[in-house]
Structure 1
Amino acid sequence: MEELHLDFADLKELYRCYMPAMKNGALFVRTARPYKMGHSLALRVTLPDALDALPVSGKVVWITPQNAHSAQPAGIGVVFIDDKYQLQDKIEKLLSGMLESHESTYSL
């Protein structure tokens, strides 16, 4: 399974990439590489101020192609499938004050 590394230096970028509407949690991954819906991936995610990356497996559920009509960057949304390190909970705790914001994200 292909592995992608995501290193979030700050909460603002994590907020832009997090997809809270997905039941099990999901992250937007900026990439120009084309993927197909349902493609399985392994993510290694380093949260702001964390020392270690957390692994989570997932599958592609969102695609923003290059040159989309919006100003959004190209990338994919990866929903969490096997979240044994509770990445979704850790992200939502970090973003607790921001999740109700109306600031734009990469997926909406």
Structure 2
Amino acid sequence: MAMPGRGGILTCHIEDIATLYASYLPFVENGALFVPTSRVQQLGDEVFIAITLPNSSERLPMNGKVVWINHRAQANRPAGFAVQMGTDDMGLKIKGEIERLLAGKVDGQQPTYTM
């Protein structure tokens, strides 16, 4: 099932907790996830992503809105964009699972892929 518009389903496999930490934007309302990709998106675009979180093989479907863009890789920040999670049941489930995996780490000082 692809969303209409720019293009199909993106897949995002987050292999470990360090990558999840670097990819999560807790300061965005409802949370957001950075998706490393060379695909060009615009702020506000609606996208559909199949996400696999660490220690899981389950692909979680997530609809969201692009809220951050890094057009080119630089330093430790890959090219890609961040997608704000929706307030639907799946968005809330993904946010809850991410925050469970990152318990005690969200307020850390390690660099991330965004800020």
The answer for the alignment partner of 1:49 in structure 2 is: 55
Q: Distance in 2 between matches of 1:31 and 1:51?
A: 21
The answer for the alignment partner of 1:95 in structure 2 is: 102
- Does residue 40 of the first structure (1) align with residue 46 of the second (2)? yes
Counterpart amino acid of residue 72 in structure 2 = Q
Q: Contact conserved, 2:12 with 2:52, CA < 8 A, in 1?
A: yes
The percent identity for this pair of structures is: 38
The answer for the alignment partner of 2:84 in structure 1 is: 79
The answer for the alignment partner of 2:66 in structure 1 is: 60
TM-score, normalised to structure 2, is 0.85
Change (3 A) 1:23 1:37: same
Change (3 A) 1:102 1:24: same
Change (3 A) 1:6 1:83: farther
- Structure 1 ranges of 4+ moved more than 6 A: none
Q: Contact conserved, 2:30 with 2:87, CA < 8 A, in 1?
A: no
Q: Distance in 2 between matches of 1:55 and 1:20?
A: 19
Secondary structure of the 1:91 match is helix
Secondary structure of the 1:37 match is coil
Q: Distance in 2 between matches of 1:29 and 1:49?
A: 18
- Does residue 27 of the first structure (1) align with residue 29 of the second (2)? no
Secondary structure of the 1:29 match is strand
> May I ask how many residue pairs the two structures share in their alignment?
106
Change (3 A) 1:95 1:28: same
Change (3 A) 1:83 1:13: farther
Counterpart amino acid of residue 99 in structure 1 = V
TM-score, normalised to structure 1, is 0.90
